[in-house]
Structure 1
Amino acid sequence: MATTLHDSKDVLVGRAEQQMHEHFADSELTVRQKLALTCRIAFDGGHDSGLAGQISARGQEAGTYYTQRLGLGFDEITEDNLLLVDEDLTVLEGSGMPNPANRFHSWIYRAREDVNCIIHTHSLHTAALAMLEVPLIVSQMDTTPLYDDCAFLKDWPGVPVGNEEGEIISRALGDKRAILLAHHGQLVTGATIEEACTLAVLIERAARLQLLAMAAGTIQPLDPDLAREAHDWTSTDRRNKANFAYYARKSLRNHPDCLTSEVNL
């Protein structure tokens, strides 16, 4: 006999959130393992653009972060070949050099204490949308984590290897979790690696959906109240952990060399 058919939406949401908290525990993966998996997930998700793009996560010491070595593609990153660098991009652990464009990551980490992971890529559909100088439009339920949460930088500041670009991009990002960079690509942030990874997958899908919809007709807006409700419902820490675990399992089937030890996902 059903007992919940007359419960309010608030009650059902609360029950679901409690169940997610019980069933999706914190991961035992290290930061290095999560970051290496994120690189492979991004590669499989259409974010590959040769050696362009950087993925980073804060290190244990203030002013440090892990990132990939310049010269390696996202599909070649393992937990063992990541670099630990400081704000000046001096390598503290690992061998090789970081991408000089990582400089603007330092600016974002300084401006946003809530950010612990940054994913910047030139993914195909976000780059195509960026060529049109059109902001990201979120008008489909799956991509609502980005609703009113994606900034837009219309003026391309050039190759982001200088401090000027770091100032411009971090200022344009503001308090949003994502930004579309005209004539460039996309950038997402997260309080956790899982959150940033989820948003990276979603922003590329959102851009692809937008381009398809624009080619077919006029995109219709979401109801703002319902969109904000969906944004909050789909942006919880436990949901991000569940999403990441799924993406990671799929990635490990394609890239078993990513991790050096067996993990339970």
Structure 2
Amino acid sequence: MLYQQEREELANVVKKMFARYETNTAGGNVSVRMNENHIIMTPTHMSQKYHCELSPYQILVVDMDENIVEGDGGITREINMHMACYKENEKIGCVLHGHALQSMVFATMGIDMPNLTEATQKLGDIVCLDFAPATSPELAEKVRTHLVSKGKAAVTNAILLNKHGVLITDTDLTKAYDILGRLEYNAYIAEKALLFDKLGIAAIDKIDHDYNLDE
């Protein structure tokens, strides 16, 4: 079995995602770059059909031409969005897409998420891309264009997909999943902070603090 340990780890992460409302039955998908030839990736309908209860063998091994090398299942139509990330920036080692509960508030409203917590400062602006239909080439191109605007040095990214969900990129699965957790906490805080600000209870702090960005 190719990449057994990595496929076991990915199956474990997506199970946690579903349990923690970081994706839902409407979808979500995660991939990890193994080398210049292969990625491993969750199969289509991982949430709708399997509720993210996947065996390691259901985690597909896919080549860079989007052919299944090993694994039980079909390739999600959103592979185009993942490939856009990998081909645009060779330093990206994981692409994580979910319909995370708190972040979906901002994605659904089509607005950028205020970046308020110290734990998310390294993300910079948390932008919401203009709408494009799920799985479409247009959506993959919007993601690719955004990555181009950030530059090759920006490997860690948290992007809101209008009416759709969130997209995280990082060097590996552990770091990408860490960013998703940080983003969700920031979304929860940001929603409440915007209400407090609007109601005049307390204004959102706009001071540029000297944050500790070390991991």
Partner of 2:170: 190
Of residues 125, 130, 136, the one that matches 2:113 is 136
Q: 3-state DSSP class of the match of 2:95?
A: strand
- The farther-off stretch of 65-74 and 215-224 is 215-224
**Aligned-pair distance for 1:149?**
5.3
User: For residue 44 of structure 2, what is the aligned residue in structure 1?
Assistant: 70
Aligned residues: 199
Aligned partners of 1:115, 1:107: CA distance in 2, in Å? 11
SS at the partner of 1:75? coil
Q: 2:17 aligns with which of 42, 59, 66?
A: 42
The TM-score normalised by the length of structure 1 is: 0.68
Match of 2:88 in 1: 111
Shift of 1:145: 4.0
Relative to its length, the structure with more helix (as a share) is 1
- Secondary structure of the 2:56 match is coil
Aligned to 1:55: 30
Secondary structure of 2:96 counterpart? strand
**Contact 2:115/2:125 (8 A) holds in 1:** no
Structure 2: unaligned runs, 5 residues or longer: none
- SS class of match (1:46): coil
Q: Which has the higher contact order (CA 8 A, sep 6+)?
A: 1
> Which one-letter code corresponds to 1:127 in the other structure?
M
Q: Tell me the TM-score normalised to structure 2 length.
A: 0.82
The verdict on how the C-alpha distance between 1:31 and 1:49 changes in structure 2, with shifts beyond 3 A counting, is same
Percent sequence identity over aligned pairs: 22
Question: For the Cα contact (< 8 Å) 1:51–1:72, is it kept in 2?
Answer: no
Structure 1 range deviating more: 30-39 or 213-222:
213-222
2: CA distance between counterparts of 1:149 and 1:213? 17
The higher radius of gyration belongs to 1
Alignment RMSD (CA, Å): 2.2
5+ residue gaps in structure 1?
Answer: 1-28, 237-265
CA distance in 2, matches of 1:225, 1:141: 9
2:204 aligned partner, one-letter code: Q
